[in-house]
Homo-oligomer: A and B are copies of this chain.
């Protein structure tokens, strides 16, 4: 078993933090996004969509998409539960994880992809859409600060995959100067707590 990934990118970090929380170690193989190695024919055989990370099982099966990889490990190594503890809780965690994906991570990523020199000439950049995405991420953080007034973690009283997605989405926001504001005390308290866990530094 191994995981193809790239240390500097946000999605591979989601899986590294998830595995660290479960105490699982999987060999990591670097695929350099900076030199577009993930768009070369050899890698496209592994994942035709070109994204990272990808889990390779011992039977040769490739699992792409960060949350699909996390779900595999949640099934084979349930404790600690990071994707919910029963039907209702699983649905709540999935709801919050998707809200953090759509509202935060996808928006900070779209802001970066559409405005940065890194992606210039690689993808059809639309700077105006990058600004729309940036504004959406800024508004999502304002909303999240209010949500966190009365609970410890994103999806409730327990740390879950939704916290991992939010942490990585917010941290990646730094690439386009999206950050927690001084008056967002609840969000700052939460960010300090999840950043202090050893998993936050998983590499």
Contacts and interface: CB of A to CB of B under 8 A. Distances in A.
Interface of A: 48-49, 55, 57, 61, 63-65, 67-69, 71-72, 75-76, 86-88, 90-92, 94-95, 98-99, 103, 114, 124, 126, 128-129, 132, 135, 143, 147
Contacts of A128: 126, 128-129
B95 A63 contact: yes
A88 B57 contact: yes
Given A126-B126, A129-B129, A75 B87 contact: yes
B61 A92 contact: yes
B61 A98 contact: no
Nearest to A95: B68
Nearest to A66: B98
B91 A49 contact: no
Given A126-B129, A128-B129, A68 B91 contact: yes
Nearest to A55: B91
A63 B90 CA distance: 10
Given A63-B91, A72-B87, 4 more contacts: A48-B147, A61-B92, A63-B92, A67-B98
Contacts of A61: 88, 92
A87 B92 contact: no
Given A94-B67, A126-B128, A128-B128, A49 B88 contact: no
